[in-house]
Structure formats: C-alpha cells, structure tokens
Amino acid sequence: MKAKQIFVTGYAKLPQGITAAELYSVIAVGLVVDMGSGEIIEADCSLVTETGRRFVKQIIEGKNMKDIELITEEIKGRYFGNAKKAIISALKMCAEKYQAAMAEDFNVDS
C-alpha cells in the first residue's frame, strides 16, 4: 500500500521593491509530503525566476518535515535573495500545517 501523501502550503508577505512583490505581494510555498516518513517529495514556490524556484526546490526536496530548522538554516546559508525571510516564514507555516495533519491521526481523506 502506498503511503499517504499530503499537500501543504505556506504564505508570507514579500518585501517591497522586489519583482516578486510587484507580481504577487506574497510568496507561496507548496510541499507534497509523505505522511508516514515526513519526507518532502516535491516542493514549489512562487519566486519569479525559474532559477530561483529551482534552487529553492533543490534545497527542500528529499529533506524531512521533522528537520524544518535544518532546512531553514540551509536556506539562510545558501539563498541570498531578498525573499529569504519570506521563504523561511512560508516554510515554517508549511511545517505547522504538517504537524496539524499528523495530529489528526492521518485522517486526511476528507
């Protein structure tokens, strides 16, 4: 039986004056997570450039939601774009939603 996967999202306000803020005003981070293991199967974010989206995706995918602090530390040390704080805030929101789903005893079918 295939383990259940869930989709969690997080949003955060972008700093003024950057291209993404002109287009979206908030950044969105979306994660597909394996409920059993906590592994992040797929990640996406609403950065404007494909290079930025791909870079953030490479940092996040394959990591574990239980290690969200390690993921945010890696972003702090490797991502030097203006949206850094917003990405981290959105990731933390994703982690909160993952924890809430886990607290529901895997009742994610509805």
Around Cβ 69, how many Cβ atoms within 10 Å?
10
Q: How confident is the model at residue 108 (pLDDT cuts 50, 70, 90)?
A: very low
Instruction: Map residue 64 onto helix, strand or coil.
Output: strand
Around Cβ 63, how many Cβ atoms within 10 Å?
17
- List, edge to edge, every strand of the sheet that includes 26-34: 5-13, 26-34, 40-45
CA distance 27 to 12: 5
Structure tokens belonging to residue 88: 């981290």
pLDDT tens digits for 51-70?
999 999 999 999 999 999 99
- The answer to whether 33 and 6 have CB atoms below 8 angstroms apart is yes
Instruction: Map residue 26 onto helix, strand or coil.
Output: strand
Q: What confidence score (pLDDT) does residue 38 get?
A: 96
Structure tokens belonging to residue 4: 């259940």
First-to-final CA distance of the chain: 19
| Domains of the chain from N-terminus onward | 5-98 (3.90.1010.10)
- pTM higher than the cut 0.95: no
